Chains A and B, each alone.
Chain A
Amino acid sequence: MGMSAALTPTVRSNIVKLCVVSGKGGTGKTTLSVGLACALAEAQGTAVTLLDCDVEEPNAHLYLQLGTLVKREISVLVPVWDPKDCTACGACKRACDFGALALFGDHLEIFAEHCHSCGACLYACPQQALMEVPRSVGRLQKGTVAGVELIWGELTVGEPRSVPVIEAVLEATQADTPVIIDGPPGTSCALIAAADGADAALVVTEPTLFGLHDLTAVLDVLDTLEVPAAVVINKANDEDSGIRALCRARGVPVLLEIPFDRQLAERGAEAVPLNRIDPAWGAQLVRLWEMLQSHEAGGKTP
């Protein structure tokens, strides 16, 4: 986009691609991602790319008054069957690890929503009775405002697999800017797709037992992916629930605490990015980014 080309990044970064994750849903990934992207763009004149990879429920766009949107379909390749060349040998069905093919007598039934687009059925078929066609599973949208280019994916309702949509969002930017990924909740395939290959992960947690449990799980996944982690405690109050002790024990720095505060919640519900609720928060978020650059984010490093 024009904005990316016109602005030269002024932040010298080792960490270019930051993935914001949480394990537990509702801890404040989007609050932090949007606030951080806007704060960097505003305070430093830096073009920033924000990728909303929570494709089952993308919501970063609700915070941004985006200009013209560019949209496109996201498709995956799935097999279709040509009965005239088929000998009903069953090789395709046996090759499928995902139960997407069933053979009843000489009738092949394809359950495309279970297909992982691996192509094994086509490879296995001795008759070339299968071919691949695109199947739409979601859509991608892009828009820009004030130096922030937002790209988000939206999984079609009823589709079980979010990974192809997340991958399409990640591939949709070649921007030479800081990239902030608003990741999906949980610790399953969707999180792995979004966080794998990031320079660092920022884990947003809350001081509850649920927060602690899911923080532990997500740190385990990030260790496996060899993505260094740092923690932000949101909705911080007098409780701790063992969050700080866990971070100390695992050598993961806690870089920011956002208090449990009525005004922050109300302004957040009005879709005001965190950095605009109070300029002090904008400064805190820029500082957070700088700390990520200088601080060795913790966890098992490669």
Chain B
Amino acid sequence: MKIAVTSQGETPESSVDERFGRAYWILIYDEVDDSWEALENSVARNAMQGAGIQAAQLVSDHQATVLITGVTGPKAFRALDAAGVRVMHGAKGTVQEALQIFCAGGLTEASADMAVGAP
């Protein structure tokens, strides 16, 4: 399984970026070989509109099936849902910590009515 985490930097020691569409980086963790891949989220970040949709495309293109982030908006959620990606809200701290909390069952899986964008 591959797990995507929104990040302010390119390493797992970076802080989680609580935004999804406008996140600086998306880090992909691969359980199979315990590795990390850093994706720069620049296309979505710089999009005039629809950043969440573009970021969802990036996550899906890299075969992640779980996303860990702060919060998603309604269109991003619709895109992730269509892509079959489970969405986890409420991530904080470093990327590594957020992943550990997720693995321990400490994050809430979002539903469409929770995807209301920035708090």
Partner of B49, one of A93, A98, A109: A98
Nearest B residue (CB) for A160: B49
A88-121 contacts to B (CB < 8 Å): 93, 98-100, 102-105, 107, 109, 111, 113-114
Residues in A neighbouring B84, C-beta threshold 8 A: 104-105
Query: Measuring CB to CB, which residues of chain A are less than 8 angstroms from any residue of chain B?
Result: 93, 98-100, 102-105, 107, 109, 111, 113-114, 160
Contacts A109-B79, A109-B82 given: A104-B53 contact, CB under 8 Å?
Answer: no
Q: How far is the CB of B66 from chain A (nearest CB, A)?
A: 15
Contacts A109-B78, A109-B79, A109-B82 given: A103-B57 contact, CB under 8 Å?
Answer: yes
Q: Are B83 and A105 in contact (CB under 8 A)?
A: yes
Partner of B50, one of A98, A103, A104, A107: A98
Q: Are A102 and B49 in contact (CB under 8 A)?
A: no
A113 to B56, CA, bound (A): 17
Q: Are B82 and A111 in contact (CB under 8 A)?
A: no
Partner of B54, one of A99, A107, A160: A99
B116 CB-CB contact with A under 8 Å: no
> Between A and B, how many residue pairs show CB distances below 8 Å?
45
Q: Are B60 and A111 in contact (CB under 8 A)?
A: no
Q: Are B82 and A102 in contact (CB under 8 A)?
A: yes
Q: How far is the CB of A102 from chain B (nearest CB, A)?
A: 5
B47 CB-CB contact with A under 8 Å: yes
Residues in A neighbouring B83, C-beta threshold 8 A: 102, 104-105, 107, 109
Nearest A residue (CB) for B49: A114
B2 CB-CB contact with A under 8 Å: no
Residues in A neighbouring B79, C-beta threshold 8 A: 102, 104, 109, 111
B14-51 contacts to A (CB < 8 Å): 47, 49-50
Contacts A104-B82, A109-B79, A111-B75 given: A99-B47 contact, CB under 8 Å?
Answer: yes
Q: Are A105 and B49 in contact (CB under 8 A)?
A: no
A102 to B53, CA, bound (A): 7
Residues in A neighbouring B57, C-beta threshold 8 A: 93, 102-104
Q: Are A99 and B49 in contact (CB under 8 A)?
A: yes
A107 to B83, CA, bound (A): 8
Q: Are B53 and A99 in contact (CB under 8 A)?
A: yes
Q: How far is the CB of A190 from chain B (nearest CB, A)?
A: 15
Contact bitstring B70-100, A, C-beta under 8 A = 1, else 0: 0000010011001110000000000000000
Q: How far is the CB of A159 from chain B (nearest CB, A)?
A: 13
Nearest B residue (CB) for A104: B83
